[in-house]
Amino acid sequence: MPQKSGITINIPGLGVRNILTIVSDYTGTLSFDGKLIAGIRERMNELADHVDIHIVTADTTGTARKELSGIRLKKILKLKGNDHDCQKRAYLEQLDPRHVAVFGNGNNDRLQLRAAKDAGGLAIAVDNGEGCAVDAIMNAHIFINGIANALDLLLYPKRCVATLRF
Protein backbone atom coordinates (compact mmCIF):
# COMPACT_ATOMS: atom_id res chain seq x y z
CA MET A 1 0.00 0.00 0.00
CA PRO A 2 1.46 3.42 -0.94
CA GLN A 3 2.23 5.87 1.83
CA LYS A 4 -0.48 8.44 2.44
CA SER A 5 0.19 12.07 1.50
CA GLY A 6 0.06 13.42 5.03
CA ILE A 7 -0.83 16.96 6.03
CA THR A 8 1.79 19.72 5.98
CA ILE A 9 1.30 22.84 8.05
CA ASN A 10 3.88 25.64 7.86
CA ILE A 11 3.47 27.73 11.01
CA PRO A 12 5.54 30.95 11.03
CA GLY A 13 7.74 31.05 14.12
CA LEU A 14 6.94 27.44 15.05
CA GLY A 15 8.05 25.62 11.91
CA VAL A 16 6.71 23.01 9.53
CA ARG A 17 4.58 20.17 10.84
CA ASN A 18 4.41 17.11 8.59
CA ILE A 19 1.58 15.05 10.03
CA LEU A 20 1.44 11.41 8.88
CA THR A 21 -0.44 9.96 11.83
CA ILE A 22 -3.20 10.94 14.24
CA VAL A 23 -3.25 9.43 17.72
CA SER A 24 -6.39 10.16 19.70
CA ASP A 25 -7.95 9.27 22.99
CA TYR A 26 -11.59 8.20 22.80
CA THR A 27 -13.37 8.85 26.11
CA GLY A 28 -14.08 12.57 26.47
CA THR A 29 -12.02 13.40 23.39
CA LEU A 30 -13.97 11.83 20.53
CA SER A 31 -17.03 11.07 22.64
CA PHE A 32 -19.43 12.43 25.24
CA ASP A 33 -20.85 9.92 27.74
CA GLY A 34 -19.39 7.13 25.57
CA LYS A 35 -21.14 8.22 22.35
CA LEU A 36 -19.16 9.39 19.33
CA ILE A 37 -19.77 13.09 18.71
CA ALA A 38 -21.96 13.82 15.67
CA GLY A 39 -20.02 14.60 12.49
CA ILE A 40 -16.80 12.96 13.67
CA ARG A 41 -17.12 9.76 11.63
CA GLU A 42 -17.15 11.77 8.39
CA ARG A 43 -14.24 14.01 9.39
CA MET A 44 -12.12 11.07 10.50
CA ASN A 45 -12.77 9.17 7.28
CA GLU A 46 -11.80 12.28 5.30
CA LEU A 47 -8.58 12.54 7.32
CA ALA A 48 -7.94 8.80 6.82
CA ASP A 49 -7.41 9.55 3.13
CA HIS A 50 -4.26 11.49 4.14
CA VAL A 51 -3.02 10.03 7.45
CA ASP A 52 -3.17 6.87 9.54
CA ILE A 53 -5.44 7.11 12.59
CA HIS A 54 -4.78 5.30 15.87
CA ILE A 55 -7.08 5.33 18.90
CA VAL A 56 -5.41 4.68 22.27
CA THR A 57 -7.94 4.62 25.08
CA ALA A 58 -8.82 3.30 28.51
CA ASP A 59 -12.37 3.14 27.08
CA THR A 60 -13.98 4.05 30.39
CA THR A 61 -17.50 3.46 29.05
CA GLY A 62 -16.67 0.32 27.06
CA THR A 63 -18.20 1.74 23.87
CA ALA A 64 -15.18 2.73 21.75
CA ARG A 65 -15.02 -0.24 19.37
CA LYS A 66 -18.77 -0.12 18.62
CA GLU A 67 -18.94 3.66 18.28
CA LEU A 68 -15.86 3.82 16.04
CA SER A 69 -17.08 1.15 13.62
CA GLY A 70 -17.19 2.40 10.05
CA ILE A 71 -14.16 4.65 10.52
CA ARG A 72 -11.02 3.68 8.60
CA LEU A 73 -8.69 3.31 11.57
CA LYS A 74 -5.21 1.83 11.53
CA LYS A 75 -5.59 0.56 15.11
CA ILE A 76 -7.64 0.74 18.30
CA LEU A 77 -5.58 0.00 21.42
CA LYS A 78 -7.53 -0.55 24.63
CA LEU A 79 -5.25 0.08 27.58
CA LYS A 80 -5.09 -2.28 30.53
CA GLY A 81 -3.95 -1.95 34.12
CA ASN A 82 -2.65 1.33 35.47
CA ASP A 83 -0.18 3.98 34.32
CA HIS A 84 -2.21 4.81 31.20
CA ASP A 85 -0.27 8.06 30.78
CA CYS A 86 3.00 6.10 30.41
CA GLN A 87 1.38 3.50 28.13
CA LYS A 88 0.03 6.22 25.83
CA ARG A 89 3.41 7.97 25.63
CA ALA A 90 5.21 4.68 24.91
CA TYR A 91 2.75 3.87 22.11
CA LEU A 92 3.21 7.33 20.58
CA GLU A 93 7.00 7.04 20.70
CA GLN A 94 6.81 3.94 18.45
CA LEU A 95 5.17 6.07 15.74
CA ASP A 96 7.79 8.85 15.33
CA PRO A 97 6.07 11.64 17.29
CA ARG A 98 7.49 14.42 15.09
CA HIS A 99 4.95 13.32 12.46
CA VAL A 100 1.98 12.83 14.80
CA ALA A 101 -0.98 15.00 15.76
CA VAL A 102 -2.24 13.96 19.20
CA PHE A 103 -5.73 14.67 20.55
CA GLY A 104 -6.59 14.23 24.23
CA ASN A 105 -8.42 15.67 27.20
CA GLY A 106 -7.33 13.78 30.31
CA ASN A 107 -4.46 13.65 32.74
CA ASN A 108 -3.61 10.32 31.12
CA ASP A 109 -3.05 12.18 27.82
CA ARG A 110 -0.57 14.73 29.17
CA LEU A 111 2.59 12.70 28.52
CA GLN A 112 1.70 11.85 24.91
CA LEU A 113 0.71 15.47 24.26
CA ARG A 114 4.08 16.62 25.69
CA ALA A 115 6.00 14.00 23.69
CA ALA A 116 4.39 15.10 20.41
CA LYS A 117 4.92 18.77 21.24
CA ASP A 118 8.59 18.27 22.18
CA ALA A 119 9.31 16.14 19.09
CA GLY A 120 7.88 18.65 16.60
CA GLY A 121 4.47 17.06 16.14
CA LEU A 122 1.17 18.73 17.00
CA ALA A 123 -0.50 18.45 20.42
CA ILE A 124 -4.18 19.39 20.72
CA ALA A 125 -6.15 19.38 23.97
CA VAL A 126 -9.90 19.04 23.44
CA ASP A 127 -12.98 19.63 25.60
CA ASN A 128 -16.30 18.12 24.52
CA GLY A 129 -18.19 19.06 27.67
CA GLU A 130 -16.72 16.44 30.01
CA GLY A 131 -13.79 18.73 30.83
CA CYS A 132 -10.14 18.92 29.96
CA ALA A 133 -7.42 18.37 32.55
CA VAL A 134 -5.20 21.37 33.19
CA ASP A 135 -2.11 19.17 32.69
CA ALA A 136 -3.41 18.17 29.25
CA ILE A 137 -3.90 21.83 28.34
CA MET A 138 -0.45 22.82 29.65
CA ASN A 139 1.24 20.14 27.54
CA ALA A 140 -0.56 21.00 24.29
CA HIS A 141 0.04 23.53 21.53
CA ILE A 142 -3.66 24.31 21.32
CA PHE A 143 -6.69 23.96 23.57
CA ILE A 144 -9.94 23.86 21.60
CA ASN A 145 -13.62 23.40 22.34
CA GLY A 146 -15.09 20.43 20.51
CA ILE A 147 -13.49 17.56 18.61
CA ALA A 148 -15.12 18.70 15.35
CA ASN A 149 -13.21 21.99 15.66
CA ALA A 150 -10.05 20.08 16.59
CA LEU A 151 -10.19 17.77 13.56
CA ASP A 152 -10.98 20.76 11.37
CA LEU A 153 -7.57 22.19 12.37
CA LEU A 154 -6.08 19.43 10.21
CA LEU A 155 -8.71 19.53 7.48
CA TYR A 156 -8.26 23.33 7.20
CA PRO A 157 -4.60 23.86 8.23
CA LYS A 158 -4.71 27.66 7.97
CA ARG A 159 -6.72 27.54 11.21
CA CYS A 160 -3.65 26.10 12.92
CA VAL A 161 -1.46 28.74 11.33
CA ALA A 162 -3.73 31.57 12.52
CA THR A 163 -3.68 30.26 16.10
CA LEU A 164 -0.05 29.20 16.48
CA ARG A 165 1.97 31.72 14.43
CA PHE A 166 4.34 34.08 16.24
For helices 110-119 and 84-93, the axis angle rounded to 10 degrees is: 30
3-state secondary structure at position 155 = helix
Exposure on the CB side of residue 71, measured as CA atoms within 13 A: 27
**Spatial distance between the Cα atoms of 57 and 60, rounded to a whole number of angstroms:** 8
The 10s digit of each residue's pLDDT in 9-29 is: 999 999 999 999 999 999 999
A 10 A CB-CB count for 52 gives 20
CA 101 to the chain's CA centroid: 5
β-strand pairing of 75-78 with 52-57: parallel
Q: What are phi and psi of 152, to 5 degrees?
A: -65, -25
Name the band, by pLDDT with cuts 50, 70 and 90, for residue 3. Answer: confident
DSSP 4: P
Position 8 scores a pLDDT of: 97
Position 2 scores a pLDDT of: 60
The 10s digit of each residue's pLDDT in 98-107 is: 999 999 999 9
Contact between 112 and 23 (Cβ < 8 Å): yes
Beta bridge partners of 79: none
pTM of the model: 0.95
Position 104 scores a pLDDT of: 98
The 10s digit of each residue's pLDDT in 107-148 is: 999 999 999 999 999 999 999 999 999 999 999 999 999 999
Position 141 scores a pLDDT of: 97
**Of all helices (H) and strands (E), which one includes residue 162?**
helix 158-164
Q: Calculate what percentage of the chain has a pLDDT beyond 70.
A: 99
